[in-house]
Structure 1
Amino acid sequence: MRFMGAGGRRRQRVVAAVVALVVLLLAGGVAVLMWQGAPGASPPVSPSRSGPASATGSATASATEIPASASPAPASPPASMPATAVPPAPPVPPAPPASDLPAPAPVPPAAPFPAALAGRDLEAIPGAGPAVALTFDAGANSAGLPSILQSLAAAGVRGTFFLTGSWAAANPGGVAAIVAGGHRVGNHSMTHPAFTGLSDAVIADQIAAAEQAIRAAGADPRPLFRFPFGGRDARTIATVNSLGYLPVRWSVDTLGWKGASGGVTAQLVADRVLAALRPGEIVLMHIGSNPDDGTTLDADALPQVISRIRQAGYGFTTLDALLG
């Protein structure tokens, strides 16, 4: 038997260590190749430096630990979101430029009035001969309008109706009925204020607002105008003229607006008209009822008024006779 010395034993240990290392490396390579070739296989888990994984840690897999064949579970929406998504609202198209908008319909010109009548609030129709103009103011209610229109139609007479803008706006059907009957319409201001206490600018606003309301209801009041309460002076007449309107007053006020409670009767209304009868007479009557007793004396007296005027040899005209 041969005995090795100390150096020989060291070499033997080194060789054994190298052989063991090679064996370990070969074994590791084979294991890696087998894992890569197996579908769905998980790589070996390296031990944690801090010791074994906790229960929570072992239940939570990292992204690299999810099998490639598994589908991830859909995420639940937050509680504040609806289950079905609402599609966004379609965009609002931009407004067309002003140049592309249709032009407003032109306002037809008003019938001009003779320059010789400027500066006057007419109380009769010049040169009318034996003819009477029946005029009706509308600013309160329309209680007497159906009867008035019926009486005018039955007698074949046309009248002139001075409307406030507020009345026209509240009674578009009444305006339509007046126009359908072939009657003339005039401007009586928007809200029936006393004009002598108004500035020129406020007068212009009153007349323009009334014109707009009356035109919106289907009639054109131009160029006839009647002052509320009949109050006027040289300044207000000139202002009205500058706005293209001709002021028209009256020859006789029937006083039917005072009502039975004011001591007036239908007979008295007719008597006043006949007592003032003259060529070109302008008669002032009212559509509305008396606010205290509800009487409509002008409407009640109208058939008798028409009959007695004709018996006196007179006919009828509208205020368009002022315009030539």
Structure 2
Amino acid sequence: MNYFFVINGKRLKNFVTIVLTALVTAWFLYIQNVPIATFSTDDGPKAFFKGKEGIALTFNISWGDEIAEKIIAILEKHKIKDATFFLSGSWAESHPHIVEKISKASFEIGLLGYNYLDYEEIKDEEIRKDLLKAEEVFQKLGIHYKKIVRAPNGHYDKRFLKIAEQHGFTVIHWSINTNDWKHPGVNAIVKSIESAQKGDIILLHASDSAIQTAAALPKIIDTLQNKTAKFVTVTEMLAEGKVNTKEVH
């Protein structure tokens, strides 16, 4: 006996639409709640660039002494205690008095390597040497630092992730790049953070090359506070255990 089923085309279309919508919704809810790591390799090492709660203001410093002190003063004036500074070892070695000010203000400190090197362009042993030399300087200066590190110019690959992990470091990237070092103008720097949401890590610079950052920072703070943003350190974000993921080649 043969059976024939006649299906209304419109009903079929509606059914498929409902099913697809349900699948997309389920996937969205899933990725919002599963702890995953940012830039990651297949066998484990990770680099974090976005969390779930709070907003992290991060500052790279590799040279100069004028802008760094201005940034510290502005943060203290606005009662911002949760900010993270990534310092190059060579800079810290030459400016221990500024490092002391950062420490006394209770800001978090991480490493930016020793010299300003491109970790994608040098050999594994050179990466390791640069990272460990920076840590040695921090230890000699008695700097209270966290085991977090950022590639000096932001360029890195799986090799750096593995080397950092081998020495107990967590690699930190960013989700919002203000490009303040390019001198785009104070308004452009502020505009770059206007879309910031919970979990974003904002990249700023406190080297003397970032001549517009100090002028932009009060406006950045006001903009984010108007969103009722809670400022957190990078390690506070890591403690949440929830971040996004991308592939590093």
- TM-score tier (shorter): 0.7 to 0.9
Count of residues in correspondence between the two structures: 199
Find the partner of 1:321 among 221, 236, 243.
Answer: 236
Unaligned runs of 5+ in 1: 1-113
Cα distance in 1, alignment partners of residues 151 and 89 from structure 2: 13
Unaligned runs of 5+ in 2: 1-34, 39-43, 240-249
1:286 alignment partner AA: H
Deviation at 1:216, TM superposition (A): 2.5
Task: Give the corresponding residue for 2:207.
Answer: 288
The Cα offsets for residues 59-102 of structure 1, whole Å up to 9 and x where unpaired, read as: xxxxxxxxxxxxxxxxxxxxxxxxxxxxxxxxxxxxxxxxxxxx
- The answer to which of 194-203 and 162-171 deviates more is 194-203
Conserved? CA contact 2:55–2:198, under 8 Å: yes
Cα distance in 2, alignment partners of residues 187 and 202 from structure 1: 16
Task: Give the corresponding residue for 1:306.
Answer: 221
Residue 42 of structure 2 is aligned to residue 123 of structure 1: no
Task: Give the corresponding residue for 2:62.
Answer: 139
Find the partner of 1:204 among 122, 128, 139.
Answer: 128
Cα distance in 2, alignment partners of residues 208 and 143 from structure 1: 27
Report the TM-score when normalising by structure 1: 0.58
Task: Give the corresponding residue for 1:172.
Answer: 96
Larger Rg: 1
Cα distance in 2, alignment partners of residues 207 and 115 from structure 1: 26
Deviation at 1:323, TM superposition (A): 4.0
Deviation at 1:212, TM superposition (A): 1.4
Task: Give the corresponding residue for 1:35.
Answer: none
Conserved? CA contact 2:108–2:146, under 8 Å: no
Conserved? CA contact 1:159–1:184, under 8 Å: yes
Task: Give the corresponding residue for 1:273.
Answer: 193
- Quick one: percent identity of the two aligned structures? 24
Residue 155 of structure 2 is aligned to residue 231 of structure 1: yes
1:228 alignment partner AA: P
Cα distance in 1, alignment partners of residues 146 and 193 from structure 2: 27
Conserved? CA contact 2:150–2:172, under 8 Å: yes
Deviation at 1:312, TM superposition (A): 1.2
Deviation at 1:278, TM superposition (A): 1.6
Conserved? CA contact 1:175–1:217, under 8 Å: no
1:297 alignment partner AA: Q
Against the structure 1 CA distance between its residues 115 and 238, is the aligned structure 2 distance closer, same or farther, given a 3 Å change threshold?
Answer: farther
Task: Give the corresponding residue for 1:248.
Answer: 172
Q: Could you say what secondary structure the match of 2:174 adopts?
A: coil
Cα distance in 1, alignment partners of residues 85 and 152 from structure 2: 14
Against the structure 1 CA distance between its residues 242 and 121, is the aligned structure 2 distance closer, same or farther, given a 3 Å change threshold?
Answer: same
Which portions of structure 1, spanning 4 or more consecutive aligned residues, are displaced by more than 4 angstroms? 114-118
The Cα offsets for residues 29-53 of structure 1, whole Å up to 9 and x where unpaired, read as: xxxxxxxxxxxxxxxxxxxxxxxxx
Structure of greater relative contact order (alpha carbons < 8 Å, 6+ residues apart): 2
